[in-house]
Amino acid sequence: MKAYVIDRYQSQQGVRLTELPEPGVAAGEVLVRIHAAGVNQLDTKIAQGEFKLFLPYRLPLVLGNDLAGVVVQVGARVHAFQPGDEVYARPDKDRIGTFAEFLTVSQDDLARKPANLTMEEAASLPLVALTAWQALVERANLRPGQKVLIQAGSGGVGTIAIQLAKHLGATVATTASAKNADFLKELGADIVIDYRTQDFATVLEGYDVVLDSQGPASVAKSMTILKPGGMVIGIAGPPDPGFAREIGGNTVLKIATRLLSRRTRRTAARLGVGYSFLFMRASGTQLSEITTLVENGTIRPVIDRVYPFASTPQALDQIAKGTARGKIVISMTESPARHSE
């Protein structure tokens, strides 16, 4: 099968196309022929080696963390799926590799593709939708009447998180460029702050939750708009000791996360608020709940551009620039690059 791999971290050569053996199917696994794959900032960060401390992948590595496709074969003890089923998934963090023609996925990480979506639309959702779900539903327990700030609302996570937060009954503020304001209000944002001309910390106050995708400096600033007991959930760091415990990290990782997050945790304690680092996990069960929201029109995917498989390096280049509105998707069956809304 054809696949895009990296041979080493921080390489200027980027990904290369190669031929690999088609993966085998063990008990509890499902072999999927991939029709489309979502592209995420996570892919570029993995390629740069930013997560090698707690994600020690063996190189060469096939990148890719989102897929939509068709079941080709199922292993023993798989009863929920059969060949021909249309599915989508964010594979487990230890089993990534969706920039390829085939991938074996644990049955626990798979869900049936929303019937009202194309393969490209479905492939855009798993990682960002699960991130939004685990942040707002599972960790924040966001409730009607609460106020949430979603940083970078026009990005992949932001566009889905805005829709989910509005569905949960929250008042939703977001940061974005002025040109995206009307679009984000259509998605459900009540307040759109132009990050080029406004400082969200001087505009907002008394918030219950902030979903931050910008990193430590933004996390610290976000804490100042929270009410006492509020929480910042960071998906771009710093990783904290709770994360190390969650993934069963070794002593080195536990010490490293304690040091990396020390300043952030001290700021949170001084302000009487909470901080939690989220590295989303695969979950077919949660993805099935998201499918219901997609099929009833509560959540819709937002795609900036679809690239053909042969243009995977260009897709990664675009996502690295951080300018996409919504998601970038790679299509294994699409020939020309195209834009979609």
CA pair distance 56, 237, nearest whole angstrom: 18
Q: Is residue 282 part of a domain?
A: no
pLDDT, residue 266, reads 96
Same domain, 187 and 241: yes
Same domain, 165 and 232: yes
pLDDT, residue 248, reads 86
pLDDT, residue 335, reads 43
- Print the SS3 string covering 64-129: CCCEEEEEEEECCCCCCCCCCCEEEECCCCCCCCCCECEEEEEHHHEEECCCCCCHHHHHCCHHHH
pLDDT, residue 339, reads 42
Q: Is residue 292 part of a domain?
A: no
pLDDT, residue 341, reads 41
pLDDT, residue 334, reads 56
Q: Give the amino acid at 191.
A: I
Q: Is residue 285 part of a domain?
A: no
Among 244, 262, 277, the domain boundary falls at 277
Same domain, 235 and 267: yes
Same domain, 171 and 248: yes
Among 226, 244, 277, the domain boundary falls at 277
- What would the two tokens of residue 274 be? 């909470």
Q: Is residue 64 part of a domain?
A: yes
Q: Is residue 81 part of a domain?
A: yes
Same domain, 75 and 133: no
Among 261, 277, 293, the domain boundary falls at 277
The predicted model scores a pTM of 0.95
Which among 194, 184, 177, 139 is positioned nearest to 163, based on CA atoms? 184
Q: Give the chain's residues under pLDDT 70.
A: 334-341
For residue 172, what are the domain limits?
Answer: 128-277
Residues 240-288 pLDDT 10s: 999 988 888 889 889 999 999 999 999 999 999 999 999 999 999 999 9
pLDDT, residue 337, reads 41
Same domain, 316 and 334: yes
Same domain, 307 and 332: yes
Q: Is residue 113 part of a domain?
A: yes
Same domain, 171 and 233: yes
Helix or strand holding residue 176 (H, E):
strand 171-176
Same domain, 167 and 42: no
Q: Is residue 53 part of a domain?
A: yes
Q: What CATH number should be reported for the domain holding residue 107?
A: 3.90.180.10
pLDDT, residue 36, reads 98
Q: Is residue 296 part of a domain?
A: no
Same domain, 104 and 155: no
Residue 134, sorted as left (phi over 0), alpha (psi -120 to 50) or beta, turns out to be: alpha
Q: Total structural domains in the chain?
A: 2
CA pair distance 52, 47, nearest whole angstrom: 9
